Structure 1
Amino acid sequence: MTPEELLARVLYRDAMVLILDKPAGLAVHAGARDGSHHLMDLLEPLRFGLPRNPELAHRLDRDTSGCLVLGRHRKALARLGEIFAEGSAEKTYWAVVVGKPPTETGLIDKRLKKLERRHGWRMVVDDKGQEAQTEYRVLGSNGRLSWIEAKPKTGRTHQIRVHLAAIGCPIVGDSTYGRGTADLVSPHLHLHARSIRLPFNPKKPAIIATAPVPPHMVETLRQCGWTSPE
């Protein structure tokens, strides 16, 4: 990604916070599975006059696109850390799934646990795992695929992916939790961090950012009834 391309992906910027539209396929930090290029290598153009690069306030999976929050300095990162830790950041995701949930709206309340395997790991539903809750709403469907709005109430690894698969609706392109069904529709994960709301300063309106739909999700969303040209 060129500096110009990165700058074009800035959704929000003030003296404390940056919000980027992260592209799918780009890891956010070092230590990714193959050690390839990652977002932290690219952040120098986003200093905007400050002596240090901005830093991640939270994370998105490599193959998830959309709103990613960064703090521009230590004070900002400390405040953002509080917001995410206390669960007051309101995150909204869009997903295209195979099938349709049993109800138009619902709360998926299933504890999650990390399962270590010889050739890697994955998250699984387990009564002894950590509490995990995801609210969902069906925004459209063509019978075979559904357009889902998901709002995680907790922040567990792969939470939305595991929860939607657990109710019989794996996310399109998910080769980990939808292998043999969802990954046959498309090789690209159809999970997008659509918007975020951050109550950063109690004396000011909350910070709100919305990320445009990524190219790989446009056609499947249209099949499910999405009509926006954006």
Structure 2
Amino acid sequence: MSGVQKVVVAAGEGDQRLDRWLRRRFPQVTQGAVEKMCRKGDLRVDGGRVKASTRVEEGQEVRVPPLAQGQAPAAPRREKVAEADAEMIRSCVIYRDDHLLALNKPPGLASQGGSGQGDRHIDGMGDALRFDADEQPRLVHRLDRDTSGILVMARNRMTAAALSDAFRDRETRKIYWAAVAGVPHPRMGTVRYGLVKAGGAGSEKMRAIHPDEVGEVKGAKNATTDYAVLEALGGRAAWCALVPVTGRTHQLRAHMAELGHPIVGDGKYGGSGQENMGDGWGAQLGGEISRKLHLHARSLQLTHPITGARLHLTAPLPDHMVQTWAMLGWDAGDVPVDPFLDED
């Protein structure tokens, strides 16, 4: 076919999604176009059919069909990071060794680029996090833009592969802290509602599906969240610990909203109101409480993929949650590190 190009994945470009690799090489290509090329089989890796989410590795050959304007592939480029952003992202590092690093991601900063995420994101600031390494660190999991807390990055390909396996196989333990509207009952439990994308293409909102109906709804996936109430403010608000047993998009937000106790500040799942309508609370507490999302990846336990040591990482709360905790009289020193394990 005239205009077909065969592009080799260059050194330093491996272990990333095909769609992100292609859009960096061909900036004029839209996400929708990438997915269409994959469905039609026009975009291939080493001769085989692929999905947009397929990960490419160094040395693989990507067959690229004719593109708009006949643009040739751009040379692999090193992202230039503004000095203010470089200083900011380095200040977020809470752990670093020769193999991995961990950030306390601030709220409002996306983990990766993509639809609606803009150009400013952690993946695009990777060059500022090289420190003494020869290559940029790689994301091995992600947090939503408005969620703060621990985000781990691998500093080489071997570590990236091992960490990706650990997250996929649920060999890590993540505990989130959240302020929720109302007080869940019972005060400790498990949510097992399935989740399915709601709305049109590109929608990032999820709809909860009763566990008995997951198999009957196209695209629905099982999802499980453990929760525990750590402190309560009368019946109006609660500080909860949340453990995502599975890792679905917006899982914690959708599950808590389905319980009738949305995470404070979550306008997407809990609306913008404050009142209790009988079937659940609104997501805002009102007064001087911030309207930002009150969801924070507080701690992460994992086995170091190289040394075998057990790491227990903890991230301080962001400013708006610190202020809320102070106004509500909640103190981090008053609760167990892992309330699920401390229960009999």
The match for 1:13 among 88, 96, 100 is 96
* Structure 1 moving runs of 4+ over 4 Å: none
Distance 1:32 1:167 in 2: 29
The match for 1:135 among 204, 226, 229 is 226
Distance 1:164 1:222 in 2: 23
Distance 1:13 1:49 in 2: 11
**2:147 matched to 1:46?**
no
For structure 1, list consecutive stretches of 5 or more residues without a partner in the other structure: none
| Residue identity matched to 1:94 | W
Distance 1:213 1:189 in 2: 12
The match for 1:115 among 191, 198, 201 is 198
The aligned counterpart of 1:149 is: 241
The match for 1:182 among 259, 283, 295 is 283
Percentage identity across paired residues of the two chains: 41
**2:181 matched to 1:98?**
yes
Structure 1 stretch 33-42 or stretch 45-54: which is displaced more?
Answer: 33-42
The C-alpha deviation readout for 1:168-190, integer Å capped at 9, x for no partner, is 10001101101132146442000
The C-alpha deviation readout for 1:128-171, integer Å capped at 9, x for no partner, is 22111111111111121110000110000000001111111000
**2:87 matched to 1:4?**
yes
The match for 2:154 among 56, 63, 71 is 71
The aligned counterpart of 1:169 is: 261
Structure showing the higher helix proportion among its residues: 2
Structure showing the higher strand proportion among its residues: 1
Distance 1:141 1:41 in 2: 39
Distance 1:169 1:13 in 2: 36
Q: CA deviation at 1:226?
A: 1.9
| 3-state secondary structure, aligned to 2:199 | strand
Structure 1 stretch 9-18 or stretch 151-160: which is displaced more?
Answer: 9-18
Could you tell me the TM-score, scaled by structure 2's length? 0.63
- Give the conservation status (yes or no) of the 8 Å contact 2:113–2:123: yes
Could you tell me the TM-score, scaled by structure 1's length? 0.92
For structure 2, list consecutive stretches of 5 or more residues without a partner in the other structure: 1-83, 215-219, 274-281, 334-344
The alignment of Structure 1 onto Structure 2 pairs a total of residues equal to: 229
